[in-house]
Every structure is written in C-alpha cells, then in structure tokens.
C-alpha cells in the first residue's frame, strides 16, 4: 500500500510540475516577406538556422533534476509547516523525504572532496539512480518507516469515511430536496 501511494503521489506531482512548466512556443518575428513568414511558421527553426535555439538532448535528466528541485521546495515547506504546528504524524515522513531529496540534489563529490560531473553517456549512473529510488520503496527504508504512521492514519480516515457512507451515517450529506 505504501508503494502504491508513493508512486501515485510522485506521478501526480510530476504531471502537475510538467503542466505548470510548459511555456508557449514563441513565434518567430515577422519579416514582411509572406513566403519566408509562412515557411518559418510551418517549419520550426533548427539549431543551424537559429543559434539561440537550445536543443535538449536529455529531457529525462533535466526533468528529473527539475522534479527533484520542485519536490525539495515543496517538502521543505511541508516539513516546516508540520514542525510549526507540531504534527507528530507527518513530521517523520517529511523529515525522511527532506533528507532523501537534499541528498539527491546536492552535488556529488569524490573521496577528495572534488565535485563530480555526470558523464555522458550515463546509462549506469541512471541505473544507480533508479536503484536508489527502488530502495526507498522497500518496507525497511527510512522513507517507508517515516511515512508509515501518516499512511496508516490516511487509511483509517478513508476506511471510516467509506464505512460511514455505506452504513448510511454520512448519507445526510448527500440528500437532495425532493420537489413535490
């Protein structure tokens, strides 16, 4: 159950982050020459035609970096909020997320303390990153252990709501007036 909720949360956050970050494609400036203007409107610029156009060869890496940065900002705020109100159910979860995301977004250093750059190509590095994510989905990971109380509370609240609706206890919320 923990894995499913975690996967759903990541997918929902990623889709909302992608939807918010899509910028409209800028139109090329009009030159006054109808043939050239129509051609430039139909065919997108290539890097050879327009040196200012940036080609993103590795969208997945940039998406991952952007997603981690966005998640870190969101979790940092949620963690601060949980600590401010003393929410003992969510604090361990947000603390575990904050530690994980902080570690993932810091620059990687070698044994001598030098900052390493990601090699290109980096298939093995990507496999390691995927392995780290899968490790956090295991039942004994810091993330799973930290978020277990929060997920149990959510399960209990949902079970209570469903039980109330099915037994008719919450049916009063859904009654509509009948017009004679």
Q: Do residues 154 and 146 make contact, with C-beta atoms less than 8 angstroms apart?
A: no
- C-alpha 20/C-alpha 74 separation (Å) is 14
Task: Quick: pLDDT tens for 78-136.
Answer: 999 999 999 999 999 999 999 988 888 888 888 998 998 888 887 888 788 788 888 88
- C-alpha 134/C-alpha 3 separation (Å) is 10
Map out the domains of the chain as residue ranges.
Answer: 1-17+58-106+124-146
Task: Quick: pLDDT tens for 121-159.
Answer: 878 887 887 888 888 888 888 888 888 888 888 888 888
- C-alpha 41/C-alpha 25 separation (Å) is 11
pLDDT of residue 179: 62
- Looking at the chain, the whole-number percentage of residues with pLDDT higher than 90 is 14
Q: Which tops the pLDDT comparison, 176 or 25?
A: 25
Most confident by average pLDDT, 3-12, 24-33, 65-74: 65-74
Reading phi first (left if > 0) and then psi (alpha if -120 to 50, else beta), residue 162 is in alpha
């Amino acid at each position: 159950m923990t894995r499913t909720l975690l996967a759903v949360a990541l997918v929902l956050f990623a889709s909302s982050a992608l939807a918010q970050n899509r910028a409209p494609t800028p139109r090329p400036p009009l030159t006054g020459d109808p043939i050239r203007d129509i051609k430039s409107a139909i065919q997108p610029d290539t890097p050879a035609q327009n040196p200012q156009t940036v080609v993103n060869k590795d969208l997945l890496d940039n998406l991952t970096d952007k997603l981690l940065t966005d998640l870190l900002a969101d979790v940092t705020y949620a963690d601060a909020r949980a600590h401010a109100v003393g929410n003992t159910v969510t604090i361990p979860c947000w603390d575990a997320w904050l530690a994980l995301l902080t570690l993932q977004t810091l620059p990687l250093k070698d044994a001598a303390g030098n900052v390493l750059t990601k090699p290109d190509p980096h298939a093995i590095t990507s496999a390691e990153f995927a392995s780290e994510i899968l490790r956090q989905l295991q039942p004994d990971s810091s993330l799973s252990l930290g978020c277990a109380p929060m997920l149990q509370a959510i399960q209990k609240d949902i079970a209570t709501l469903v039980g109330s609706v099915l037994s008719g206890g919450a049916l009063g919320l859904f009654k509509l007036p009948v017009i004679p």
